[in-house]
Structure formats: C-alpha cells, structure tokens
Structure 1
Amino acid sequence: MTSTAASCLVFLTMKKLEEVELCFPELLNSSCRKAVRPHSVSMLTYILLSSISLITVTLNLLVIISISHFKQLHTPTNLLLLSLAVSDFFVGFLMCFQIVVIEGCWFFGDHMCILYQYLGYIITAASVATMVLISVDRYVAICEPLHYPNKVTQKRVKICICLCWICSAFLQTLLLKDNLEQPGRYNSCFGECVVVINYIAGLVDIFLSFIGPFTVIIVLYMKVFLVAVSHARAMRSHTAAFSLKSSVSVTAKKSELKAARSLGVVIVVFLMCICPYYCVALTGQDILLNASTATFVICLVYFNSCLNPVIYAFFYPWFRKSIKLIVTLKILQPGSYATNML
C-alpha cells in the first residue's frame, strides 16, 4: 500500500513538472521554469525577431561595405556612421540570443551568458558615445563652418572612435567586474542568465551612459537647430543673383543643413528607442515590470539598429547607389573604389 502511494506520488509529481515545463527537466527543482505563452504568440515572436535580426545584419553590413570600400565616402561624418553601423551589426547578432531566451530559458551556460551581457553593454555604450560624436560633428559643421576642416579631420575622428570603444569596454569591465570574475553567481536556478550591478555602479553607469550623453546631444542639437533656422532664413532672403562663389557657398550651406537634418532624424529615433530602456533602469524594472515588458524594452533598443540603415537609404543617395553596385557585384570590378558616389 505504501509502495503504491509512493508510486502515485512520483507519477503526480512528474506530471506536474511536465505541465510546468522546466528548462532542464532532468534537474527537477533546481531548473528554471519556462515562460507560459500560447504557441501562436511564441511563433509570431520568433518570426518577427528573426526577420529583424536578419534585416539588421544585412543592411548594416551594406553600410559597412559601402563606407569602407568607396574612397569618396571616407569623410569624418561617414566614419562616425561606420562606427554606428558596426555596433548595429553586432546588435543584429546579439538578437539571435534574445530569440533563444523568449521562453525564459538560457541554454548556453554561465560563461556565454556573461559574454552576451558584456558585449551588449559595450555595444550600447559605444552607440551612445558615437551619437555624442555625431552631435559634436554637426555642431562644428553648422555653428563653426570655417573651422570645421581644421577641427574635424579623419585622423581625429578615427582616434575619437577608437577611444569611444576602448572607454566603453573599460567602463563595462569595471561595472561587471564581479559577474566576470564569477559567472552565474547571481543565478537562482539553472537556465537563468542574470547579471547584477551594485547601486553605486548603476548610478555611475546611468549618468555616464544616459543622463550625461543625452544632455550633451540635446543641448548641441538645439543649438544646431537654432543656427540652421537662421541659415535657412538668410538663404531665403538672398535669392537674387549671386556670383558663382556665393552660389557655391549657398549650395554648401544647404548640403550641411541637409546632413544635419538627416543625422537629426537618426538621433531622434535613437533617443525614442533607447530612452524607455534607461527609464526602466532608473525606476527599477524588477519592481514595476514583468519579464515580457522588460523583453519588449530590450527589443526596442535592438530594433533601432535595424532602423538606422533604413534612414540612410531614405536620406542618402550615395547609400542607395552603393547598394546597387554591391548587389550587382560591380563592386568587384578593378578600380570600383574610385566610383563617383556623390
């Protein structure tokens, strides 16, 4: 009788565990539980995120090839776009891991978990820093046009980009020091991927990666906007006949204003996509949000990486032209790097 009761108890326990759907059924009570969602919702999410990931990787790879290959595109501003495209390209790959953890289970071990989180933090910080550099570039181009060729050179921009990535990696190494030394130390069950940053370090990170940079971006672009408006009014008030030199000057101003507008759109979209993530960090997502909402906020950050090259395609004729040359394989022809792209 006792044996029968025990057998029934084991059977009921196993059945209950099957219904719960553990990440690692063989580990029983030490395994994390899968997120319970309708099959149709899970499939739709898989398809959506997979499509975004593929589009993000493909489009940003086109941007990287375009700016790297064609000599005429080796301008300081485009080098900053290249840095942004590199970070967006890696975001596309990181989305593959986000797709895997849709069900709430991490299957790649503690070391891959911390590597995934570490790279994600570095890429996000580098993207924010690159946006600051883009804002500075546009500020100097619009507000100090006579000094732009001397102040903003390819060499200086390359150094700034390298410092941007190095400082991002160094900062995240300090913030995630405990997690890097002992991966998985904060996991409560098998199948979880959790990193924890202490309160003081979290405040420093939010200030350096969010409040400080975003304040700089907004202030600089407000100044750019005011100067751009004054330039536009000045050009409208001087529509009479000019000398060739004056005509060229007006054309140059229009080109700079158009570039400022295009990059302004990139920055505004970036702020709209990444602000919810940092706002959640400021308010405490563990308290206010469930796992699904937190995942949505993270995916919104990823989605921005897909939008950037779409914006380039809409605003930059050179990007559309380079796509045609790449797709038709004309880029493989000798001397293609010298093609006129502007």
Structure 2
Amino acid sequence: MIRARDTSTMLVISGTHNGTEMVFTLESLAQAGVIFIMALAIIITNILIIATLLNFRGPSEVMNCYLLSLAVADLLCGLLVVPLSVYPAIVKLWVYGDIICRLVGYLEVTLWAVTVYTFMWISVDRYLAVRKPLRYETLQTKTRCQCWMAFTWISAAMLCSPPLLGLNEPAYDSEAYICMLKWSNMAAYSVTLAILILGPSLITIVYTYTYIFRMRNKLRSGVPFHDKEYATALSESLSNPSHMMSFALVVAFWLSWTPYIAVKIYEYRTGKFNNTQLLHFGIVWLGFLNSFWKSIILITLSPQFRLALRIFCMTICCRYKGRMQAELIGMEADD
C-alpha cells in the first residue's frame, strides 16, 4: 500500500517492499535524481568522445589511444556502476544482492586503477615529447601505445581481483547508496595495491610534469641551447596544447577524489566518523563526477579535439559530403 502525507518540512511517501516498510522523502528522490543525471551525462559525453576519436583520422593518434582508454573506463563506470545506485537511493536499500555488490566494488577499483595508470602513461608521453622532441615519433608509435593500454587493463583487472574472489565481503555504503570495498578489512592487500598503483603513478606524474614546466620556463626565460635544431623542436613541442590539456585532466581527477580520500584518511587515523549524510554523499559522487569533467576539459583546452568533434558532427549530419568538407577543414587546420 502506498500513502502520502505532508509534514512541516517535506512530503513523505511510504510503501512496502518484500514486507519491509520504506519511506521515500524529497531528499532521497533529489539524490536519486542527481545520480541519474550524472549517469546520463557520463554515458552521453563519453560515447561522444569515443565516437569522435574513432572517427578522426588526423595527427596525434598516439594521444588519442590514451584518451580512448580514459573514455572507455568512464563509459563503463557510467553504464555498470553509477546507474545501479539510483533505485537504492530512493528505497535506501541495496536490492541487487551480494554478488552484484561485489562486482560493483571490483569494477570501481579496477576502473580507478586503469584511469590512474593511463594518466601515468600520458605523463610519460608528454615527457618524451619534451625530453626527446626529435625522436618522439619513433619512440611513441601507435602500436606501442596500444600495447601499453592492453597491459594496463589486464594488469589492473588482475591486481584488483582478490575482492572479487571472495577475500572480502561486499560493503554497501548506505549514505552514498553504492557498494564500495572495505579497505580496513584487508590492510595488507590495501597497502600492496597502493604501492603498486599509486606509488609509481604519482612519482611518475610529479617528475614528468615538473620537468615539462621547468623546460617551459627555461625556454621562456631565453636560456640559450647549443643545438638549434633541438631548440626549435622543443619550442614546437612545448607549444602543443596537449601538455596543458593532459595536466588539467590529471589535476581534475585528483581534485575530484581528494575530498573523499582526505576524509577517509582522517576517519581512519582519528577513529572519528562524520555522521553528516549529505557531506558523505557529496564527496563520494564528486569523485565519480570526474568521469564527466574530462569532456569539458577536452572541449575547452584541446583545439584538435574541437576540430575532431566538428568533423564528427559534419560527418553525421552530411554523410559523405560532410566527410569531404571535414577533410578540407583538417587540411586547413594543418596549414
């Protein structure tokens, strides 16, 4: 039986599910709506990114391999993780069973590891473009980058498999309405995973971008280079907007997840747990919102992606005629 009643602060709708009474509040419906809109935004934008990059036949296909990896990881998150929290947010109960809960937790950490590893390879790619601008095209081939991406996905899936094999019970977060791994119950595995994923990734990202910005400042300050050919190639490489675009992607990712990581570290070290449901809900889904920010950064900071997006739109709208016009746009951009 469903019944509704007005209170002084909100409309409350209550009903029964499998003999258990549930209460639907405006707050829960609003939070479910936020999750649903996030899922749609993540799915639509990442499908658009994947279609745009696959349709593009211009230069810089090496970077496109990494961007495709990020977009696929975000799309899987939008399809297989985020939507499963919409209904639990309404009924305030996980209704899909322990197996699905375990799979969701496994997918979250696997896709997160893939993203972190991909950012590491992107930073290495940008480092090589600055460190060895004359040999970059021979060092970073499309086939080599595809192999690195395949290795990244396979290794991430294997490293994150212990919780899937039953070494840890699935944990439903009733405040964020999502299943997440309970790292405190497997401290040794958590430390090992952090060393294998966060350790090399953070060290590589910090070192490579420090070098890139240092060389950029050196070039702007007019420091003379003995090899003029190298100086010219370095100047052309540093003028590539992919450096700032990739750096913005990394910064956006860590800014999205830093509040959640900071709160969890604080709670673990102090033993004091924050009971504010809205805060906990916000920091969890702020992290997942990173899967949407990438599209905004690509459109804002990447002229090549904007060109590829324009080509894709013309191809879809005008078919073969639009394809010819798009190729002419690409030729004009190269000139």
- Under TM normalisation by the shorter chain, which class is it? 0.7 to 0.9
1:1-342, aligned counterparts within 5 Å?
24=17, 26=19, 38-39=25-26, 41-73=27-59, 75-93=61-79, 94-103=81-90, 104-178=92-166, 193=179, 195-197=181-183, 198-234=186-222, 249=233, 252-256=236-240, 258-284=241-267, 287-290=272-275, 291-328=277-314, 329-330=316-317, 332-333=319-320, 336=323, 339=327, 341=330, 342=333
Deviation at 1:327?
A: 3.8
Deviation at 1:101?
A: 2.7
Deviation at 1:281?
A: 4.1
TM score, norm. by length of structure 2: 0.77
Deviation at 1:330?
A: 4.1
Could you tell me which amino acid in structure 2 is paired with residue 59 of structure 1? Answer: T
Number of aligned residue pairs? 306
Aligned equivalents of 1:63 and 1:187: distance in 2? 31
Aligned equivalents of 1:320 and 1:118: distance in 2? 34
Asked if 2 retains the 8 angstrom alpha-carbon contact of 1:56 and 1:306, the reply is yes
Aligned equivalents of 1:166 and 1:42: distance in 2? 38
Aligned equivalents of 1:222 and 1:71: distance in 2? 32
Unaligned runs of 5+ in 2: 1-11
Asked if 1 retains the 8 angstrom alpha-carbon contact of 2:298 and 2:305, the reply is yes
Asked if 1 retains the 8 angstrom alpha-carbon contact of 2:130 and 2:212, the reply is yes
1:88-113 alpha-carbon deviations (Å, 9 max, x no partner): 11222222123333243111122221
Aligned equivalents of 2:135 and 2:293: distance in 1? 32
Unaligned runs of 5+ in 1: 1-18, 29-33
Cα distance, 1:154–1:170 mapped onto 2, change above 3 Å: same
1:169-210 alpha-carbon deviations (Å, 9 max, x no partner): 001102443258xx76x6799x99564441111122233333
Could you tell me which amino acid in structure 1 is paired with residue 239 of structure 2? Answer: S
Runs of 4+ deviating beyond 6 Å: 19-23, 186-189, 245-248
Aligned equivalents of 2:42 and 2:14: distance in 1? 32
Is the strand fraction higher in 1 or 2? 2
Cα distance, 1:273–1:59 mapped onto 2, change above 3 Å: same
Could you tell me which amino acid in structure 1 is paired with residue 254 of structure 2? Answer: L
The 3-state SS of whatever aligns with 2:160 is helix
Amino-acid identity (%): 21
Aligned equivalents of 2:173 and 2:36: distance in 1? 29
Aligned equivalents of 1:25 and 1:287: distance in 2? 35
Could you tell me which amino acid in structure 1 is paired with residue 214 of structure 2? Answer: L
Larger Rg computed on CA atoms: 1
Deviation at 1:232?
A: 2.9
Aligned equivalents of 1:325 and 1:148: distance in 2? 27
TM score, norm. by length of structure 1: 0.76
- Of structures 1 and 2, the one scoring higher in RCO (CA 8 A, sep 6+) is 1
Aligned equivalents of 1:74 and 1:283: distance in 2? 42
Asked if 2 retains the 8 angstrom alpha-carbon contact of 1:330 and 1:336, the reply is no
Deviates more, 1:216-225 or 1:263-272: 216-225
Aligned equivalents of 1:307 and 1:144: distance in 2? 31
Asked if 2 retains the 8 angstrom alpha-carbon contact of 1:179 and 1:195, the reply is no
What CA RMSD, in Å, does the superposition of the two structures yield over aligned residues?
A: 3.6
Aligned equivalents of 2:188 and 2:14: distance in 1? 37
Asked if 2 retains the 8 angstrom alpha-carbon contact of 1:46 and 1:99, the reply is yes
Aligned equivalents of 1:315 and 1:275: distance in 2? 23
Asked if 2 retains the 8 angstrom alpha-carbon contact of 1:114 and 1:179, the reply is no
